[in-house]
Amino acid sequence: MQIGVPAETLADEKRVATVPDVVEKIIKLGFRVAIESGAGDAAHFSDDAYRAAGAEVLPDAATLWARSDIVLKVRPPSSEEVALMPEGRTLIGFIWPAQNPALMEQLAAKKATVLAIDCLPRTLSRAQKMDALTSTAGVSGYRAVIEAANAFGRFFNGQITAAGKVPPAKVFIAGAGVAGLAAIGTAANLGAIVRANDTRAEVADQVKSLGGEFVKVDYEEEGSGGGGYAKVMSEGFQAAQRQMYAEQARDADIIITTALIPGKPAPKLITAEMVQSMKPGSVIVDMAGEQGGNCELTVPGEAVVRHGVTIIGYTDLASRLARQSSTLYATNLLRLLEELCKAKDGVALVNMEDDAIRGLTVIKEGEVTWPAPPLKAAPKPAPKAAAAPVAEKKSAHGPGAPMSGKALTIVFAVLAVLFWAIGAYAPAAFLGHFTVFVLACFIGYMVVWNVTPALHTPLMSVTNAISSIIAIGALIQIAPPGAGTDGRPDTLILWLAFAALVLTGVNMFGGFAVTRRMLAMFRK
């Protein structure tokens, strides 16, 4: 199959649907690529660059439409372009079916298959690589700040110079979607004080992460409309929002509006009174100009001055960065072609069972399939099985069962007899040592047991450091006369005492070393 890329016919549209780097990758999928001569000139992609990438350059649009099985476009086709399309061909690009019902009828009459990139289900994670709306919005948000900086009368960042102090510009951004977030990041990087608002409260953290301040409307209402878009808010919320916008308009130097709801006219957020309250020399960039604008005084496609405020209503912000926009858009279409041609055999198959492809497909072989049915809800995860008990319940008489009162009495009785026997028959010296030993074990156990587990390591290191009592005991065994006939201790006792001294020395010095290292961790 041959893919054709015509030149865009809309006035001032500089973008092109594919670029030379992407042409090479499309050819690897098995397609042939043709492009109309001069289609990439405005985006600084020459015909020679396309030829070098393997594309065929055709002299005019009529030849290209006639010979192409699949046509890639940026803007929706005009009536004249639809007339050039043979029946049964495939068209991929921005269509906006809700705003262009007449175009949908013309394409259906041509028995075409139309994939509208603007209808991609954006909530599908696997569809993000094809999301041209996000790519375009990011470029537009960046360009909106550049246009504002061009029209603004001073620096964005604050400066202190020999000629005086320049305060930082105050930028307010209405709408923190993809375009709004791009504008926030750009304005903040230029040094401006950035504030932003959105009906979706969940974007507040994103605004802050980009260096902006989230301005909340004093009205509680959830603004998420699903699909990554905001919803139309209640009248009560809108009244509170207008009051907040009026306050921001009086304080801001630059306002950038991005509010759009698919299939509906742009909501009016900035009134003429708000514009009049702004400082002379302020700037408004209305990114919703193509759908009527968010400002009452916006003139779509133009920059006008009202009440001393420059109002920019350009509808081609993405096109003003044509090379960058074309590259991103071409990559999005490449990812779509990869989904349509998984076999890499140069044949595109529209799989209506695929949620992403089904959402994109607004006309299938002349049959209008828009709007797509709601996405199937993701299956709920199976409930986790109850955790198995750590240990099975023991029988009353089995191993591990609690000791009965009778058994406990017998154990204590046996221990009492044992201690009585030791006291009655053991030497007095042994009995004294044994008593100290038992008490030491009991007290040591109770002391360690009642210490927080996090302190066990420092406690044990200090305990090891002060355990020199063992060394003293070993020395006592060596110094006094032992049981030997020559006044010296027995050889076994001598070697045991020596081993005790060595091990105690290691224990002592190791304890002090560990304690010192742990204390050093808390020193600055």
E strands present in 399-454: none
Taking each helix axis as running N to C, give the angle between helix 322-340 and helix 20-28, from 0 to 180 degrees, rounded to the nearest 10.
10
The strand pair at 224-226 and 229-230 is best described as: antiparallel
Task: Say if residue 299's pLDDT is above 70.
Answer: yes
**pLDDT tens track for 9-42:** 999 899 999 999 999 999 999 999 999 999 999 9
Q: What kind and span of H or E run contains 361?
A: strand 361-364
pLDDT at 171 over 80: yes
Asked if the bond preceding 383 is cis, omega within 30° of 0, the reply is no
**pLDDT given for residue 480 in this prediction:** 60
Per-residue model confidence (pLDDT) at position 375:
80
| Residue pLDDT, tens place only, 40-81 | 999 999 999 999 999 999 999 999 999 999 999 999 999 999
pLDDT in tens, 370-385: 999 988 765 565 666 5
Structure tokens at 116: 């509208």
Compute the Cα dihedral for 53, 57, 62, 67 and give only its sign: negative
CA distance 17 to 6: 8
- What pLDDT, on the 0 to 100 scale, is given for residue 378? 58
Q: Please report which confidence band the pLDDT of residue 272 belongs to, taking 50, 70 and 90 as the band edges.
A: very high
Please give the pLDDT value at position 407: 76
pLDDT at 220: 80
> Is the pLDDT at 239 greater than 80, yes or no?
yes
pLDDT at 477: 63
Nearest-angstrom CA–CA distance, 47 and 521? 66
Of 322, 327, 108, 62, residue with least CA distance to 91: 108
Predicted local distance difference test score (pLDDT) of residue 492: 74
Residue 335 has pLDDT above 80, yes or no: yes
Using alpha carbons only, how large is the chain's radius of gyration in Å?
Answer: 40
Is the CB of residue 119 less than 8 Å from the CB of residue 230? no
DSSP 323: H
pLDDT, one tens digit per residue, over 347-367 is: 999 999 999 999 999 999 999
> Are the CB atoms for 69 and 89 separated by under 8 Å?
yes
Residue 488 is predicted with a pLDDT of 58
Closest Cα to residue 10, out of 75, 73, 85, 102?
75
pLDDT over 70 (residue 463): no
- Which of 226-230, 335-339, 342-346, 440-444 is predicted least confidently? 226-230
pLDDT for position 417:
82
Tell me the DSSP string of 141-191.
HHHHHHHHHHHSSS-SS-EEETTEEEPPPEEEEE--SHHHHHHHHHHHHTT
**β-bridge pairing 254-257 and 170-174:** parallel
pLDDT, one tens digit per residue, over 476-500 is 666 665 445 455 556 777 787 778 7
Over the chain, what is the mean pLDDT? 86
Residue 400's pLDDT is what?
47
Q: How confident is the model at residue 501 (pLDDT cuts 50, 70, 90)?
A: confident
With 60 as the cut, is the pLDDT of residue 520 above it?
yes
**Residue 394, pLDDT above cutoff 50:** no
Percent of the chain clearing pLDDT 70 (strictly above): 81
Q: Which residue has the higher pLDDT, 401 or 428?
A: 428
Half-sphere exposure of 479 (CA within 13 A, CB side): 6
Per-residue pLDDT of 192-230, as tens digits, reads 999 999 988 889 999 999 999 999 988 887 766 555 555
Mean pLDDT of 295-307: 96
